[in-house]
Structure 1
Amino acid sequence: FFVLDEADRMLDMGFIRDINKVLKLLPKRRQNLLFSATMPKSIADLAGSFLYNAVKIDVSPKEVTVDRIEQKIMFVRKADKRRLLVQIIKSEKVKCGIVFTRTKHGANRLVKQLGQSGINAAAIHGNKSQGARTKALAGFKAGQIPILVATDIASRGIDVDGITHVFNYDLPNEPESYVHRIGRTARAGRSGVAYGFCDNSESGYLVGIQQLIGAEIAVDDSHDFHFQGAIPKPGQRPGKMKEKKSQTKKKNSNNKQPRSGADKKSNQNRRRSKNNSREGKNGNPRNGKNRQRQGGNRSNRQKNRR
């Protein structure tokens, strides 16, 4: 048997080479089992490269629906996200919430910043040892750690029924991941809240998310850090927005003025004079002494001819 859980993420995150190495060590006659909540077409095609006569089985999800999740989008500058998160956690007295970041480094940094604000939090991601992840998850389930900061892949194994808040600190670049994230709350008939922090570079991600779920997420602008510039433009396409070039580069390029013809000639003359002086030192015929020697040799030749 070859069993691959969370197949969509494992195949999408660059593990295909490692998977192929494992497959080469297995017998050719085997059964391959892939499990995933979502399977985009591109990943399904990749999985088809080592599946033969595959049978797809769809299982109805548990009683977790988006209807029980109160979704909110907050437009905010990237620099203000941490303060907004702290404000919500303290004002709503969150005792069991997950914060999603896009990177492992971002998760570690946010845990440190939350600790400085008096909020007990722990990070769980791929760079953490199994022991550290188990300890963090156990403390989270026991209520000792109210906030768990996680990346998408590490969060796939989290199964806690009492999660009341989900914070998309960084909006996911894949819309399917958004559905995975908010599905951590509102389980077992409970209700939950899912916040999304959207800065001006993530508005394209928001467009893709809303296209996937087929609805516009309610905007909450009642906080102190509302940023109008992060709102998606009309007709904006899904995906990451292209960052504009810095103004300093433009200024430097504008300050470069074309050289005049006189300047070019003077520079050429300077280069020639430098080359002449160098050639003279190296014994070039342009050197005066060498010219005298050549002249003396010519006079001796003329005498011999006479």
Structure 2
Amino acid sequence: MSFSELGLLPALVQACARAHFLQPTPVQASAIPALLAGRDVRVQARTGSGKTAAFALPLLQQWLTGKPQSPRPVRGLVLVPTRELALQVAETLRDLAHELPGLIKINVAFGGVSINPQMMGLRGGADIVVATPGRLLDLVRHNALHLDQVATLVLDEADRLLDLGFADELSEVLALLPQQRQCVLCSATFAPGVKALAEALLHEPVEIDLASAVAARPDILQRAIVVEEERRGPLLRHLLAQAPQDRALVFVASRYRTEHVAAKLGRDGIRAAPFHGDMSQGARTDALLAFKRGQVQVLVATDMAARGLHIEALPIVVNMDLPRSPEDYIHRIGRTGRAGGQGEAISFVPPAAEAHFRLIEKRQGQRVPRETVPGFEPREPLAASSEAADAAEATPGRGTGLDPNGGIKGHRKSKKDKLRERLAAEGQSSAAGRTPKAR
């Protein structure tokens, strides 16, 4: 199948060719015709599968077929959870729109920087806005833009936006939008509670689920190295020394850990930089750019780097600390093996974390063989930790008993889990009583 067969205008087919999109990915082949037909769509597909272009191309076609107005009303709105993803989505849209007829105005807005330049950029309106929810609301309160003519709303990394951390802001944004609108939700994962909330936003959606398709899985070699918690730092330095030319994205559990690990690597002569949410936008941009250019060998990051971040041909991802949830694991390792490339994902599994890593394996439907590195073998025999994991899995409600610095989430439901379930139930009740939207 070619892009011309999906219903795209010739100008957009040419834009795909200029972007070296040779043929549609499975998610693009499924999503683009549905979006061009005006349908609501929920896309669940692994990272690097082409989700951004899948909604970007229909947004651009919507602009091409619309009538010019002055000031420009915002017709396309893309909400994202992080600054880096906002910049990345806007860059994709601008690249595809670069040689289209007419002059499209694509604005990006996020917090952590002065609002004044973003307000100035919105003078005269905008055709498409890519924004984080908090800064978008700030701009609305400053009367810098209006959202009453939005035709298409896209939630990129929708599971994160529908989570409790963004729930209040997202509710405010939704209240500003017209009721009759197209809605697109994209993510690599949808937890059950979040999925129920998502369904309340959609009207008779086209469901595209390619996350579990074997053919859609990226080519990532997953490794699980059993190592004592206190030996993870030396093991990381040992592995990096074996491939000094390779860049590595290393995930840890906290902002403090990013600084601590990066500093230790630096003292050993390894060019490393931290990356976390407490850094200024300028510092984060500089660290990411240095990493992409190869000026920094190792980027030590929290989970804010796990979603939406595209780093060309990244060879290795290391889970120095295991993620709290299996969904975060999928997002983390998805930073490598993107766009048809190959990658390697290495997880350090302390014996006490065996039960948690088994849960991660179960959720992704893939077993990862355990291995050890000579000189870093754990004191506790593998058989003993395996037996403990079997017991933990067989005992409902039992926690993992891991060191809190590892950031592992136990089996007991937290207050946040319970509240999420309650909100999901309320969302289902609301959806059941809602009348269908007119198109």
Give TM-score, length-normalised by structure 1.
0.69
Question: What residue is the counterpart of 1:208 in the other structure?
Answer: 359
Post-superposition offset of 1:80: 1.6
Moved more, 227-236 or 145-154: 227-236
Tell me: CA distance 1:50–1:192, structure 2 relative to 1, closer, same or farther (3 Å). Answer: closer
2:184 aligned with 1:28: no
> Partner amino acid for 1:44?
K
2:296 aligned with 1:166: no
Question: What residue is the counterpart of 1:237 in the other structure?
Answer: 393
Post-superposition offset of 1:62: 12
Give TM-score, length-normalised by structure 2.
0.50
Find the aligned partners of 1:105 and 1:29 in 2 and give their Cα distance. Answer: 45
Equivalent position SS for 1:49: helix
**Deviation sequence 1:184-216 (CA, Å, 0-9, x none):** 223455433221111244222211122123333
> Partner amino acid for 1:114?
L
Count of aligned pairs:
243
Post-superposition offset of 1:88: 0.7
**Deviation sequence 1:120-149 (CA, Å, 0-9, x none):** 112223333332222112111111011112
Find the aligned partners of 1:243 and 1:62 in 2 and give their Cα distance. Answer: 32
2:261 aligned with 1:102: no
> Partner amino acid for 1:241?
T
Post-superposition offset of 1:34: 1.6
Given that 1:77 and 1:200 are in contact with CA atoms closer than 8 Å, whether structure 2 keeps it comes out as yes
2:353 aligned with 1:224: no
Give me the identity figure in percent: 35
Question: What residue is the counterpart of 1:154 in the other structure?
Answer: 305
Post-superposition offset of 1:221: 1.2
Given that 1:73 and 1:217 are in contact with CA atoms closer than 8 Å, whether structure 2 keeps it comes out as yes
Question: What residue is the counterpart of 1:270 in the other structure?
Answer: none
Question: What residue is the counterpart of 2:197 in the other structure?
Answer: 46
Gaps of 5+ in 2: 1-151, 404-439
Aligned Cα root-mean-square deviation (Å): 2.8
Equivalent position SS for 1:115: helix
Question: What residue is the counterpart of 1:90 in the other structure?
Answer: 241
Given that 1:3 and 1:32 are in contact with CA atoms closer than 8 Å, whether structure 2 keeps it comes out as yes
Find the aligned partners of 1:87 and 1:219 in 2 and give their Cα distance. Answer: 18
Question: What residue is the counterpart of 1:269 in the other structure?
Answer: none
Question: What residue is the counterpart of 1:179 in the other structure?
Answer: 330
Given that 2:224 and 2:369 are in contact with CA atoms closer than 8 Å, whether structure 1 keeps it comes out as yes
Question: What residue is the counterpart of 2:79 in the other structure?
Answer: none
Find the aligned partners of 2:334 and 2:215 in 1 and give their Cα distance. Answer: 10
Of 52, 73, 80, the residue aligned with 2:231 is 80
Post-superposition offset of 1:228: 4.7
> Partner amino acid for 1:242?
G
Given that 1:185 and 1:193 are in contact with CA atoms closer than 8 Å, whether structure 2 keeps it comes out as yes
Moved more, 77-86 or 106-115: 106-115
Equivalent position SS for 1:237: helix
Question: What residue is the counterpart of 2:286 in the other structure?
Answer: 135
Q: How does 1:114-133 map to 2 (within 5 A)?
A: 114-133=265-284
Find the aligned partners of 2:189 and 2:332 in 1 and give their Cα distance. Answer: 13
Tell me: CA distance 1:119–1:64, structure 2 relative to 1, closer, same or farther (3 Å). Answer: farther
Moved more, 227-236 or 127-136: 227-236
Gaps of 5+ in 1: 245-306
Post-superposition offset of 1:218: 1.9
Equivalent position SS for 2:206: coil
**Deviation sequence 1:274-298 (CA, Å, 0-9, x none):** xxxxxxxxxxxxxxxxxxxxxxxxx
Question: What residue is the counterpart of 1:282 in the other structure?
Answer: none
Given that 1:8 and 1:38 are in contact with CA atoms closer than 8 Å, whether structure 2 keeps it comes out as yes
Find the aligned partners of 1:59 and 1:190 in 2 and give their Cα distance. Answer: 18
Q: How does 1:257-276 map to 2 (within 5 A)?
A: none
Question: What residue is the counterpart of 1:3 in the other structure?
Answer: 154
2:168 aligned with 1:12: no
Tell me: CA distance 1:202–1:11, structure 2 relative to 1, closer, same or farther (3 Å). Answer: farther
Given that 2:306 and 2:335 are in contact with CA atoms closer than 8 Å, whether structure 1 keeps it comes out as no
Tell me: CA distance 1:212–1:135, structure 2 relative to 1, closer, same or farther (3 Å). Answer: same
**Deviation sequence 1:1-50 (CA, Å, 0-9, x none):** 43221111232352112211222233333333221112122211122333
**Which protein shows a greater Rg?**
1
Moved more, 94-103 or 187-196: 187-196
Equivalent position SS for 1:140: helix
